[in-house]
Structure 1
């Protein structure tokens, strides 16, 4: 088996893991009443971009090998780094869902009895879910030895992040006021101590 194939298999296992982490929270979220919904066209575009860049486009590449012209030689060290980064992404993703619990939502929503979560990964960054997506994109870039498909995840993440994060923070400020402002002052957005 080639190193490139090993990277692709690890990527597929990571995506399957992502699905199994998220699925129970999606089911539970349907049972909690939404009291404020901020869905918008830009949010839909951002979510679609993330899905395409982190799932559909690289999945197409893994299945078909297209575009083969953008392939480059895979290396064991890159697959090892990609594996570690993708594993870190899944750990953050799992911890984020666990901390949010009944507050979790795929879209910009405030749920009944919504609480401001500031423990676990939320003690370091305000948006660890985006941190996990960013790490997935970096891991994908190392695991898939294709210039286009490897970096598609980072592009998809960036589109989602920049279309949505400001709206999400405005919604949280409107909901939690000074409590959220104080939280913003002591945490960074997605990279601990940096940004």
Structure 2
């Protein structure tokens, strides 16, 4: 098996694992009433960009090899690093969902009996779900040896993050006021101790 093929297989397994983690939370979320929804056009655009860059385009690449002009020789050490990053991303993704529990939502929403979560990965960063997406995009860049597809994941993440994070923090400030402001002062956004 070639290193490039191994990277593609690992990426596919990562996508399957991502969905296995998310699915039960998605099902449970449908049963919890939404009190406030801040879904906007920019929220929808951000989600679409992430889906395109981190799922659709890499899936096309894995299935067809397109765009082959941007391929480069896969290095076993780079693919191994991508696998480690992918596992770390999935662990962070799972822990984030687990800590949020019934508060989780795919969109900018406050749910019935919503509580501010500040344990687990939320003790280090305010948005560990975005941390996991950043790690997933980095893992994709290392696993799929194609410049366009690697950059597509990082670009998709960046669009989602920068269109959403300020709106999300405004919503949390409206919902939790000084409690969230204190939490903001204790934590970084997505990279512990850095940003």
RMSD over aligned Cα atoms: 0.4
Whole-Å separation in 2 of the counterparts to 1:153 and 1:120: 26
Other structure's SS at 2:131 match: helix
Cα displacement string for residues 124-144 of structure 1 (whole angstroms, at most 9, x for unaligned residues): 000000000000000000000
The residue aligned with 1:158 is 158
Structure 1 stretches of 4+ with a deviation exceeding 2 A read none
Other structure's SS at 1:110 match: strand
Moved more, 109-118 or 150-159: 150-159
1:164 Cα offset (Å): 0.3
The residue aligned with 1:35 is 35
User: Is 1:144 equivalent to 2:144 in the alignment?
Assistant: yes
Structure 2 residues without counterparts, runs of 5 or longer: none
Structure 1 residues without counterparts, runs of 5 or longer: none
Contact 1:70 1:147 in 2 (8 A): yes
Aligned pairs for 1:1-195 (under 5 A) are: 1-195=1-195
So what's the TM-score if we normalise by structure 2?
Answer: 1.00
So what's the TM-score if we normalise by structure 1?
Answer: 1.00
Other structure's SS at 2:36 match: strand
1:150 Cα offset (Å): 1.6
Cα displacement string for residues 74-125 of structure 1 (whole angstroms, at most 9, x for unaligned residues): 0000000000001000000000000000000000000000000000000000
Whole-Å separation in 2 of the counterparts to 1:80 and 1:186: 34
Whole-Å separation in 2 of the counterparts to 1:12 and 1:49: 19
